[in-house]
Structure 1
Amino acid sequence: MKYAIGSANPAKVKAVEQMIKEPVQPLDVPSGVSPQPLSDEETRLGAVNRAKACVEKGAELGFGLEGGVTDMEGTLYLCNWGALADQDGHLVVASGAKIPLPDEIAAPIRKGSELGEVMTSFTSDKDIRKKAGAIGVLTNGELARDEMFMHIVKLLYGQYKFQK
């Protein structure tokens, strides 16, 4: 297997396939972090763990994409991180868009709910995390989840090629 992504989420798979322009193997690998990462550090670690797990399962290049939230000066922000690992032990990371979450979305997350669950309730769309995601809803459709992750994949792949 040449390329793998540590997720079966269609938005994440699409982001990598659009950048690589080749088939990408989705792999169900653990993030090693909580179901709702609550900081940039935890979200970044989830992406790194997923990328490395893809390589451990035989991928030449493994991608990890992780969404989370982070608190900045009392405001909860959407955050996203990605990592790319290869069989030689190289690792690159990148972060994506950050936007503040409205109070009606942030409050349940602060009480222990996952963003995906909150967005499902907010939109009545049980598959929102597989489609537009929170970023799509909160930007009124101007930026979909796969587009946001594709930006991160471009940052990852560009860094990787630069360093090689």
Structure 2
Amino acid sequence: MKKVIIASKNPVKIQAAKNGLEQMFPNQEFECMGVSVQSNVSDQPMSDEETFRGAKNRADNAVKTYKDADFYIGIEGGIANIETEMQAFAWVFIKSKEKYGKSRTGTFFLPKQVVDLIKAGKELGEADDIVFKRDNSKQKSGAVGILTGGTINRTGYYTEAVILALIPFKNEDLY
């Protein structure tokens, strides 16, 4: 049984991490625990670099706080301006004692109403809740689920990036 610390209490991130691990290592059992640690970035990361740093910091801070796990997983959602538009994405950073893996989700562009609320100081999840009249959407389908009509939900969106971040662990002789 492999012990895994997911550096978040968000059930979407915990499930995505578990799904990714189980898909990459189907013959292994995992004990996953979500914990609250600091990202040491703003609540709403506003650049690719800041979002990456948040995911890495979450994994690093989990290592410092919780000893003896096999994997530490940080997932950080962020946004970035591209010309006059705003894109959303997330970074995943996974650590073990010997190595690390990292990956980023695909990106999608946010509607103007959501962008205007973010520019006014709201976090993406809060802006989604206001515009789409939802409650706590960031712990459910998220913006990606709302905007795709459920074709892609937030758990699946993060799961793929977790799988990609696990490539160095699946191919140990190459990394």
TM superposition shift of 1:19: 2.2
Q: TM-score, normalised by structure 1?
A: 0.93
Is 1:9 the counterpart of 2:6? The answer is no
User: Which secondary structure does the structure 1 equivalent of 2:31 belong to?
Assistant: coil
5+ long unaligned stretches in structure 2? 23-29
Which residue of 76, 89, 95 maps to 2:86?
A: 76
TM superposition shift of 1:2: 1.5
Distance 2:50 2:149 in 1: 27
> Highest CA radius of gyration, 1 or 2?
2
TM superposition shift of 1:72: 1.1
Residues 95-122 of structure 1 deviation map (CA, whole Å, 9 limit, x = unaligned): 1020111111111111211101101112
TM superposition shift of 1:75: 1.0
Structure 1's consecutive aligned runs of 4 or more residues displaced over 4 angstroms after TM superposition are none
TM superposition shift of 1:82: 0.5
The equivalences for 1:35-114 within 5 A come to 35-56=43-64, 57-58=66-67, 59-88=69-98, 90-114=99-123
TM superposition shift of 1:123: 2.5
Question: How much identity, in percent, do the aligned residues show?
Answer: 31
Over the aligned positions, Cα root-mean-square deviation in angstroms equals 1.4
What amino acid is the match of 1:52? D
Residues 119-160 of structure 1 deviation map (CA, whole Å, 9 limit, x = unaligned): 111222222111100110111111000000000100011233
What amino acid is the match of 1:83? F
Q: TM-score, normalised by structure 2?
A: 0.88
Which residue of 7, 24, 31 maps to 1:23?
A: 31
Distance 1:12 1:119 in 2: 18
Distance 1:124 1:102 in 2: 15
User: Which secondary structure does the structure 2 equivalent of 1:2 belong to?
Assistant: strand
Distance 2:15 2:31 in 1: 10
- The farther-off stretch of 144-153 and 71-80 is 71-80
TM superposition shift of 1:60: 2.2
Is 1:115 the counterpart of 2:116? The answer is no
